Amino acid sequence: MKLFAFFLFCLFCKSFAADLDRSWWKHTIIYEILPFSFKDSDGDGRGDIKGISSKLDHFVDLGIETIHLTPVYETSMRDMGYDITDYYKIDQRYGTMDDFDELMAEMKKRDLKLILDLVINHSGYKNEWFVKSVDKIDPYTDYYVWKDAKEIINGTPTPPNKWRNIFHYYDGSAWEWNEKRQQFYLHQFLPEQPDFDLGNENVKNELKKIITFWLDKGVAGFRLDAAPHFFEDKEFRDDSYDRQKDQPETLEFIHEFRLFLDDYSVKHGGFERIYVAEAHSDHATAAKYYGTKEYPLTHFPYSFILEYIDQPMNGFWFFWFVDEWMEYLPDGEVSAWMTQDHDGNRVGSRVVPEYSDIVTMLSMLLPGTVGVYYGQEIGMLNGFITPEQVRDYSGGGGRDPARLLMQWDNSTSAGFSTNATTFLPSNSDYFVRNVEFQKKEEFSQYNMFKDLSALRKTDTLKVGRFDHFPFYEEDIYMLKRSHEEHEIFLVISPAQSVLHVNLTRLMHNPPNLVSVVTASTNAGYSRGSTLDRQSLDKFKFLPLSAVVFETNRPKNEKKSKESEKDDNL
């Protein structure tokens, strides 16, 4: 009888596994929101969860399928929410748990998925677990990384080693003395962010409860914040910064938690829940965060290679940036391209504004998943911050210019709030760079983004062949995606002067007729227009521009064999 019951259970689990949508994350667009900068619903000058709920149709219009929400947990706000005091509560600055539940319900109606930041390298110093750890109250005594002083010199304790913290690498120790406990604790970031001992079984069990709590609310997965820092050198040797990151134990830990997540997906069915790794490491090391089929880790680490574009480039450099990462991509895995995020400058401000279009177009047409940062759909740029307006205390205000208010329209506070006094200011260009204005303009970044998003729904961009080429003499970069009879070309001219290029000479089996899908706002080509062979022979590129062509788009896209194969795994 017991054997029969076990057999039925196995069939039950297998049935759920077969029903899982295992491919949704392989081609999705993940849109990162900073809740305090996106939309204010109650006029207090700070963005909130209800504000996000009020703008969900914005994502539907754009063709966005997945939202990544940076921390909304209870926090002391020393690092803009990345210092969590309670993992089970919504911070009152953003609303209530009822507001979050309403957000999930409204997203489900629109077939949108939500990814949360999972901040588990450290907690906030006001977290109850840390307070009890200071007091050596079990089981919390060893929840964090505590070490004795190396020595006492003239009554002053010296840190266990010479490790530096990330935010103040040159002048800040990674160790903080706690007078009450008479020990140092490790903080790889701020002193207000003590590091967990993730090898502690009690800590791991607590974290699994947290993950289950949010999965039960319907979230589709988690971004593993600061993944390379989960473990540090067990011997605490002090000769290298690398002792603090990318340790073998980190991969073992993620593997354990991947199995836990997969088990949840199988038991609950519907779709596969995912882990996304934030891994600012060299390419070879970052690629390890995929794991293998036999030893799975995260579903993908973000590739930050396009975030390193910080100066004008020629065609070869575009090719090199992409190829540099693709060489390390394991077989059968998908890339996840990021061009900007909350920790860096917006791409148009790193180089010149025209690069907002160029890099967005490139990332959207590369194979795999793409991560976009709020406001990227309208080409938002960094803004100006006065000393009085600094909110990024951990980074000295350096990250604030890329975190300014989302620009909805040209009304008060860029349509972000009815209040003229806001947590962070608006960028001064919001009168002409905003969603409402760009929706009405033919040559706008908003409509360009929509064109690209719609194109990503084709099998050609989901599973099609990828080729790319630099052309030295013409100084252009060409990307080609192809599937059956459908071909898509992206051609970028990084030159700062007008170019006339014979594109047919550069295309293998050039088509007789192409249709313009979309173009950078400065390119001068209308979407939907057609170009014959003669036009391609004498194609005119305006400075710093890019154009997307296609041939023979199928009228009724059928599900590809590759997609069906994914669903049947």
| Catalytic residue positions, numbered | 225, 278
| Contact assessment for residue 192 and residue 78, using Cβ atoms and an 8 Å cutoff | yes
Which residue, among 423, 401, 427, 403, has the nearest Cα to 414 in the 3D structure?
427
φ, ψ (nearest 5 deg) of residue 14: -65, -40
Per-residue burial over 108-136, b if 16 or more Cβ lie within 10 Å, else e, is: eeeebbbbbbbbbbbbbbbbebbeebbee
List own/partner pairs for 268-271 with CB under 8 A and 24 or more apart.
Answer: 268/16, 268/215, 269/16, 269/19, 269/20, 270/19, 270/20, 270/21, 271/20, 271/21, 271/24, 271/113, 271/220
Q: Which residue has the tokens 């200011």?
A: 425
φ, ψ (nearest 5 deg) of residue 491: -125, 125
DSSP label at residue 559? P
**What is the C-alpha to C-alpha distance for residues 313 and 251, in angstroms, rounded to an integer?**
35
DSSP for 425-444 reads PPPTTTTTSSHHHHHH-SS-
| Contact assessment for residue 70 and residue 114, using Cβ atoms and an 8 Å cutoff | no
| Chain centroid, CA 199 distance in Å | 27
DSSP label at residue 23? S
**What is the C-alpha to C-alpha distance for residues 564 and 569, in angstroms, rounded to an integer?**
9
Q: Which amino acid is at 277?
A: A
Which residue, among 361, 330, 338, has the nearest Cα to 478 in the 3D structure?
361
